[in-house]
Amino acid sequence: MSAPTVSATPTRSKMDTKTITSIAMLTGVSVIIAWMSKLMPPVMFLDFDFKHVVVCVGGFTFGPMAAAIIGILASFIEFITFSGTGPFGFLMNALGTCSFCCTASWVYKRNHTKKGAVLGLSAGLVVMVIVMLLWNYLITPIYMTVNGELVTRAQVAAMLPTLFLPFNLAKGGMNMAATLLLYKPVVTALRASGLVPPSQSTEGKKFNLGFLLFSLALLATFVTFALVLAGVI
């Protein structure tokens, strides 16, 4: 008589539960980070937002679909709680987050190395800038007012290279650098707690000073750029 087979369903259910728990936790952290980001000085009506770091951690760990879920949920929670930008703000928030984080996660999923992370985040930055320039051109004239009057599309077009482009470069660059710095320690802690699966990286765990210095230099550069845009320095 053949031995009874053991169903794999309980294991899959357990892993699914862990994934859902991790995604929910990362969504909550994303919202908290977004609220804390409001403390930074805005550039006109544009707010810097560091929640992309947390969304990328989720995307690098669980894939681009997880990044989309976390990004959209976090943006929606912002919309119904502390954000004052309305439904158009929610749309732009979700588009910016997902274009950056899903692109970065998609590239990293295919190359689990430090190089893959840099390439993915760089691609995410480029895609986000393009997407946001396009959607600012399309959407901003519908809701943005100056002195009580809606801005024209020509006025928005004039702001694309002088306001929207540098703002999104600074915002994306800071999130890119912060993700490179924080992904490893955050995911290591999540693995220790059993909330995420083992690493799929093809690289060893050896400390890389050059990569750390590169990430710090990148962060310092974009933070300085952002402070200049905000008129702080």
The segment with the largest mean pLDDT, out of 13-27, 70-84, 186-200, is 70-84
Q: What is the pLDDT of residues 184-222, one digit of tens each?
A: 888 888 788 777 767 666 565 666 888 889 899 998 999
Q: How confident is the model at residue 13 (pLDDT cuts 50, 70, 90)?
A: very low
The rounded percent of the chain whose pLDDT value lies above 90 is 58
Q: How confident is the model at residue 147 (pLDDT cuts 50, 70, 90)?
A: confident
Query: What's the CATH class of domain 14-229?
Result: mainly alpha
Identify the CA nearest to 27 among candidates 4, 3, 2, 59. Answer: 59
Rounded mean pLDDT of 55-83? 95
* pLDDT at 70 exceeding the cut of 70: yes
Please report how the helices 114-143 and 51-62 are oriented relative to each other, as an axis angle in degrees rounded to 10: 130
Longest CA pairwise span in the chain (Å)? 84
Q: How confident is the model at residue 12 (pLDDT cuts 50, 70, 90)?
A: very low
Rounded mean pLDDT of 140-146? 87
Q: What's the pLDDT at 8? A: 46
Global model pTM greater than 0.95: no
What is the pLDDT of the chain when averaged over all its residues? Answer: 86
Identify the CA nearest to 130 among candidates 103, 110, 106. Answer: 103
Q: Which residues pair with 109 in a beta bridge?
A: none
Question: Can you give the residue ranges of every domain in the chain?
Answer: 14-229
Cα–Cα dist 98/128, whole Å: 8
As given in the structure block, the two tokens for residue 37 are 């980001």
* pLDDT at 7 exceeding the cut of 80: no
Q: Which residue has the higher pLDDT, 106 or 13?
A: 106
Q: What's the pLDDT at 130? A: 97
